[in-house]
Amino acid sequence: MTCSLFKRLVDAYVDSELDGAEAMEVWRHADHCPDCARELARARYVKVKMEEGAGHGLPDGLEDRILLATTGSVSPAAKPEVLRRPVWAWGLTAAAAAAFAIMAIALLRPTPAPPPTTASAAEDSIYSEGFDPLAIPIPAPASARTASFGP
Amino acid sequence: MNINIRMWGDDKESAAVRPAFEEQVRRTSRQAYAVARRLTGNAEEAEDLVQESFVRAYRFYHRYDPNLPFASWLFRIMTNLHIDAARRRSRFRLFSLDSQSEATGAAYEPADPADSPETRLLDQEVDASLNLGLRGMNPEFRTALVLSDVEGLSYEEIAEVMECSIGTVRSRIHRARKILREYLTQSAPHLIPPEAGR
């Protein structure tokens, strides 16, 4: 194999794209041609560095932007926490809110006035019926009625 | 740049396609980004290329043959977009030293913590030099090389993606790698290990 042919085949050799016989010839040539051995080392080096440098992770949010731009959806991981609650959790929340509202209404309702005592009820009825409490005759004590002051 | 174009309506067909497509996005977006990153040489352009490729894939999803790997079909779309964009760009923008800052200033993934700082620095320098070398070459050469070295596709698979013969793929990869070797040797000889140096 000539150096010129070697240089044409070296990249396919590095990529394992030569058949067995060709690959063997390339290997044999590099084994006793220092210049071509260096060319082979350089080809391998470039390939390895190309592979190594490509290990970039996916940027944050790119997948979501792709989904949004295509299907219009967003992945579950990107949804805010509050939107990812299961249905039963929403039901539970609604029930708790209703119970709270009922309790709040019960606690905040105005307290009714205590039932009137018998005496005050009698006074109320007197006023409401137009009686004047001062006009009610006051009964005299029994001793006064029986006492005699003169002969 | 955010591309937000919905191609399907909310009809029944869309509803049937959506879950399958979303699964494809989840499976292939990482690979697609790795390829795009090498094709474009920087993070921002890579994101745009990936997003645009998926948008186009969704638009033409009815043409996709599910018996074939989705990734290959996506790469075909991506490489066509990339080559078209590179051709358009070359009409009005020459490769300049400005692009060096893009290539070197891009955010790099943190290297293995076991590596020494010197090794990491050297790797970043090699990576930046490779990106510069890639940017300066014909987009067809670059695409063939990236599909081979980054995605690990065989020459036959690359030929399918790029819709050309295997011989053409072999020639493109050979020429691309030769350009990179020469570029590294001339511009950054200190990056070449001794056994591969002149």
What is the rounded average pLDDT of the residues A75-96? 59
Report the sign of the C-alpha dihedral through residues B4, B70, B39, B41, in that order. Answer: positive
Using alpha carbons, list the distances in angstroms from residue B20 to A71, B47, B66, B85, B121.
10, 22, 10, 29, 42
Per-residue pLDDT for A131 more than 60? no
Q: What does the domain layout of chain A look like in residue ranges?
A: 3-52, 63-106
Q: For residue B95, is it within any domain?
A: yes
Q: Note whether residue B6 is domain-resident.
A: no
Q: Please indicate, yes or no, if residue B3 is contained in any of the structural domains.
A: no
Decide: helix, strand or coil at residue B6. coil
Residue B5 lies in a domain: no
pLDDT in tens, A2-51: 999 999 999 999 999 999 899 999 999 999 999 999 999 989 988 988 88
- Chain A nearest CA to B132, separation (Å): 12
The pLDDT-based confidence of B166 (bands split at 50, 70, 90) is: very high
| SS3 (DSSP) at B68 | coil
User: Which residues of chain B from 29 to 68 reach within 8 Å of chain A, CB to CB?
Assistant: 29-30, 33-35, 37-38, 43, 47, 50-51, 54-55, 57-58
Lowest-confidence region among A53-57, A81-85, A108-112: A81-85
> What is the domain-level CATH number for residue B122?
1.20.140.160
What percent of chain A clears pLDDT 90, i.e. is strictly above it?
27
**Rounded CA separation A6/A126 (Å):** 129
Q: What is the model's pLDDT at position A17?
A: 94
- CA dist B131 and B71 (Å) reads 23
Query: How many structural domains is chain B composed of?
Result: 1
Please state, for a pLDDT cut of 70, what percent of chain B lies above it: 73
CB within 8 Å of B103: residues ≥ 6 apart:
B41, B42, B128, B131, B132, B135
* Interface contact A78, partner B, CB < 8 A: no
Residue of A74 and A12 predicted with greater confidence: A12
Is B4 within the bounds of a domain?
Answer: no
Distance from CA of A7 to the nearest CA of B (A): 9
User: Minimum mean pLDDT among A17-26, A55-64, B145-154, B185-194: which range?
Assistant: B185-194
Assembly ipTM: 0.71
Do A45 and B155 count as a contact with CB atoms less than 8 A apart? Answer: no
Q: 3-state secondary structure string, A19-83? A: CHHHHHHHHHHHHCCHHHHHHHHHHHHHHHHHHHCCCCCCCCCHHHHHHHHHCCCCCHHHCCHHH
Look up residue A111 and give its two tokens. Answer: 């307290």
Q: Is residue B89 part of a domain?
A: yes
Residue B66 confidence class, pLDDT cut points 50, 70, 90: confident
Which structural domain range is residue B173 located in?
12-196
Residue B169 domain flag: yes
pLDDT in tens, B75-132: 999 999 998 888 777 665 544 434 443 444 443 344 444 456 666 676 777 888 888 8
Nearest CA in chain A to B24: A67
Average pLDDT over residues A105-115: 66
For residue B159, is it within any domain? yes
Chain B residues touching residue A58 (CB < 8 angstroms): 29-30, 33
A63 interface with B at CB cutoff 8 Å:
yes
